[in-house]
Chain A
């Protein structure tokens, strides 16, 4: 049981380049999320998907797009990368109802550097 798997683990981009972060979960969870983590700023929600076919903006959506490809997969795209998007990105999933709580299961993270 892999849980939440995200790729790539590391990526270096030049300003203006595009890339897609991939995330997949095998826990049959309905909800999936993308967070970014910057030093001293905790985890900030970029986009989330409550269920297959729906996506919504979080706190910091500018510069990003997402696709909920199916129940398992939720990708994050940077169309034109900027140095301000240098961060560690975490994908997470949750299944409300398990013990009645919205517990997040995180992937291992993707460290992105934009030069």
Chain B
């Protein structure tokens, strides 16, 4: 089955700095890569996603890049703010009906004011 590795497990940055979280996946059939943000005590929520026919996607301060050949994808957050502090999960799935998502172990991001 699919295996997703996520690094780093913890990340601390100063407000205004950039943060990068990286994930690798094992199944070359995976073609959908979402990122979820989970604030303390809350449910995970989708923040951005990318499909395998796209190399990069941006949404304001967040961006995701995908390298299909190397089987890795990354989340980039620019101009970080304290409210970006949360646990971020990457996931990989085959984008079909009920495509099972395999999650990375999560990255705890702390943005210091």
Contact = CB atoms under 8 A, between A and B. Distances in A.
Given A41-B105, A42-B104, A48-B100, A102 B43 contact: no
Contacts of A58: 100
Contacts, number: 72
Contact of A103 (B49, B102, B105, B106): B49
Contacts of B102: 45, 59
Contacts of A90: 43-44
Nearest to B42: A108
Contacts of A75: none
A108 B32 CA distance: 24
Nearest to B106: A42
B98 interface: yes
Main secondary structure of the interface of A (DSSP, over half): loop
The 8 closest A-B pairs by CB, nearest first: A50-B98, A106-B43, A31-B98, A42-B105, A42-B103, A43-B103, A96-B97, A102-B99
Given A42-B103, A42-B105, A101-B95, 15 more contacts: A30-B97, A41-B105, A43-B103, A45-B100, A45-B101, A48-B98, A50-B98, A58-B100, A96-B95, A101-B32, A102-B96, A103-B49, A104-B36, A104-B44, A104-B101
Interface of A: 30-31, 33, 35, 40-45, 48-51, 58-59, 90, 94, 96-97, 100-104, 106-109
Interface of B: 1, 6, 9, 32, 34, 36, 42-46, 49, 51, 89, 93, 95-106
